[in-house]
């Protein structure tokens, strides 16, 4: 089947940089490509936008088809449109990023992806296309957003201690934070509530377990 | 001439939300459309991406062709891809925003735009397509960035007083700021330098004129 237009059109894909935290390290979800170009190389999950499909719908569909991951916070990152970024022809990609609590994902491969796996963000394999640039931009956005939004909450399980939340911040920022200042500024957001339950962490006295107050999406901190 | 592809492609445009400050008010650059659809309606400057043209190159070319504006800070904002956003067919638009010092622009209309003008951002005419949504997103991004980047410096002329810079912040944020705190936090960025010259503002003693230290682009404030 052929598609004909009166003026030039572009092939458009979406790609998603999916992050999680595992064993105190930031991890990225990659698929191993089952098709050319870059067959056998690792890449971000993604694929072509259908004419009657919204961009975010496409990102969610491709992510679910290729990895089994669904239902999570997704944010548009940036549109990459360098003329030579795909060896086939001009392909524009609208990149998204997603944050996923690591305790809620079961991976599956698919027809387009012959494998799917988490990789430590600091030790990535060779990637197809310009996906290394996309991941770099996604990590920068993520680190920048830590300071002015509640985005890190997306990484957390249903209940957690403030130490666990601080570890998430420290892992993404790559630096140690002062415990007292961190607690003070996080609680000042008034977005966490106590569960009334406690968790024993090592030899310390039990730590309060918190949960996020019910609201949707990510808020900008004023 | 016809363009034929093996699988569906999308029409892709860029649109630019250009802001300036005039008479203490945020203004937006609009063109009046010379062609269908929405002929005669006001719209953001923009147009179709050519197959061999980068996205930002397209945004700059269309902006210059339609308005005569060139050479300014441009940042990708968001890609709008709702299926029905253009009455002709599915058209994706990669939106950019630009910040322009008001003392350096001479507007000109063109073949595609039969008029070009600045409008106060709070008193816009009816706009073509989803351009009202694009402008809303651009204003939100601009206001959010004030607090964590040097983006507002883009609005400033070559030399300016701290009061003038504070007025820019107040205009975009829509709120009054404390003079002493503002000066302290702005000078703490170490991005301004004194010119050694002064400007008389009203009945007050002459105010120091500052300029921005030479660096390119917008920095994220750590």
Average pLDDT over residues A75-95: 96
Counting residues of chain A whose pLDDT is more than 70, the rounded percentage is: 91
Residue B125: its pLDDT value, please? 96
Q: Note whether B4 contacts A6, CB cutoff 8 Å.
A: no
With tokens 């062609």, the residue in question is: B35
Average pLDDT over residues B96-119: 78
CA distance A84 to chain B (A): 9
Q: What is the rounded distance in angstroms from the CA atom of residue A26 to the CA atom of residue A42?
A: 17
For chain B, say whether A198 makes contact (Cβ under 8 Å). Answer: no
Residue of B nearest to A143 (CA): B222
- Cα B20 → chain centroid: 7
Mean of all residue pLDDT scores within chain B: 88
Q: Note whether B6 contacts A3, CB cutoff 8 Å.
A: yes
Q: Note whether A10 contacts B48, CB cutoff 8 Å.
A: no
Residue B9: its pLDDT value, please? 94
Q: What is the rounded distance in angstroms from the CA atom of residue A200 to the CA atom of residue B174?
A: 48
Is the peptide bond prior to B91 cis by the omega test (within 30 degrees of 0)? no
Short-list A142, A6, A10, CA closest to B55: A10
Q: Measure Cα distances from B171 to A44, A54, B132, B153, B161 in Å.
A: 41, 35, 20, 14, 16
Q: Note whether A8 contacts B51, CB cutoff 8 Å.
A: yes
pLDDT digits (tens, 9 = 90+) for A176-218: 999 999 999 899 888 899 999 999 877 788 999 999 987 656 6
For chain A, say whether B76 makes contact (Cβ under 8 Å). Answer: yes
For chain B, say whether A137 makes contact (Cβ under 8 Å). Answer: no
CA distance A76 to chain B (A): 7
- The token pair at B188 is 């703490």
CA distance B157 to chain A (A): 28
DSSP B102: G
Q: Note whether A51 contacts B90, CB cutoff 8 Å.
A: yes
Residue B133: its pLDDT value, please? 97
Among A32-46, A97-111, B67-81, the range scoring the smallest mean pLDDT is A97-111
Q: Which of A4, A8, A85, A140 to mutate to test the interface with B (most CBs of B within 10 A)?
A: A8
Residue B112: its pLDDT value, please? 67
Residue of B nearest to A149 (CA): B144
Residue from the list A3, A82, A92 with its beta carbon closest to the beta carbon of B5: A3
pLDDT digits (tens, 9 = 90+) for B121-130: 989 999 999 9
A106 vs B78, residue with greater confidence: B78
CA distance A131 to chain B (A): 18
For chain A, say whether B78 makes contact (Cβ under 8 Å). Answer: yes
Counting residues of chain B whose pLDDT is more than 90, the rounded percentage is: 56
Residue of A nearest to B220 (CA): A144
Contact B66, B58 (CB under 8 A): no
Residue A112: its pLDDT value, please? 67
Average pLDDT over residues B22-33: 89
Residue of A nearest to B144 (CA): A220
For chain A, say whether B156 makes contact (Cβ under 8 Å). Answer: no
**Whether the predicted pLDDT of A104 surpasses 70:** no
Residue A95: its pLDDT value, please? 98
* 3-state percent helix, strand, coil for chain B, nearest multiple of 5: 25, 35, 40
Q: Note whether A7 contacts B8, CB cutoff 8 Å.
A: no
Q: Which of A81, A86, A89, A90 to mutate to test the interface with B (most CBs of B within 10 A)?
A: A81
Short-list B111, B115, B89, CA closest to B37: B89
Residue B222: its pLDDT value, please? 46
Q: Measure Cα distances from B25 to B155, B170, B173 in Å.
A: 12, 10, 11
pLDDT digits (tens, 9 = 90+) for B149-177: 788 888 888 899 999 899 889 888 878 99
Q: Which residues of A touch B12 (CB under 8 A)?
A: 9-10, 12, 92
């Amino acid at each position: 089947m052929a598609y004909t237009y009166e003026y030039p059109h572009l092939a458009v894909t979406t790609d998603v940089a999916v992050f999680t935290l595992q064993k105190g390290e930031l991890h990225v979800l990659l698929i191993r490509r089952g098709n050319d170009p870059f067959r056998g190389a690792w890449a971000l999950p993604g694929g072509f936008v259908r004419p009657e499909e919204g961009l975010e719908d496409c990102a969610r569909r491709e992510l679910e088809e290729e990895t089994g991951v669904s239902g999570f916070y997704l944010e548009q990152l940036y549109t990459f449109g360098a003329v030579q970024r795909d060896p086939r022809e001009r392909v524009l990609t609208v990149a998204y990023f997603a944050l996923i609590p690591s305790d809620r994902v079961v991976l599956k491969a698919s027809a387009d992806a012959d494998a799917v796996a988490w990789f430590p963000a600091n030790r990535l394999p060779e990637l197809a296309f310009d996906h290394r640039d996309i991941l770099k931009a996604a990590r920068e956005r993520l680190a920048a957003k830590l300071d002015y939004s509640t985005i890190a909450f997306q990484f957390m399980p249903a209940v957690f201690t403030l130490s666990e939340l601080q570890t998430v911040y420290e892992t993404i920022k790559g630096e140690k934070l002062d415990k007292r200042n961190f607690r003070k500024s996080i609680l000042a957001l008034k977005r966490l509530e106590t569960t009334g339950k406690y968790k024993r962490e090592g030899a310390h006295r039990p730590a309060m377990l918190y949960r996020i107050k019910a609201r949707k999406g990510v808020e900008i901190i004023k």
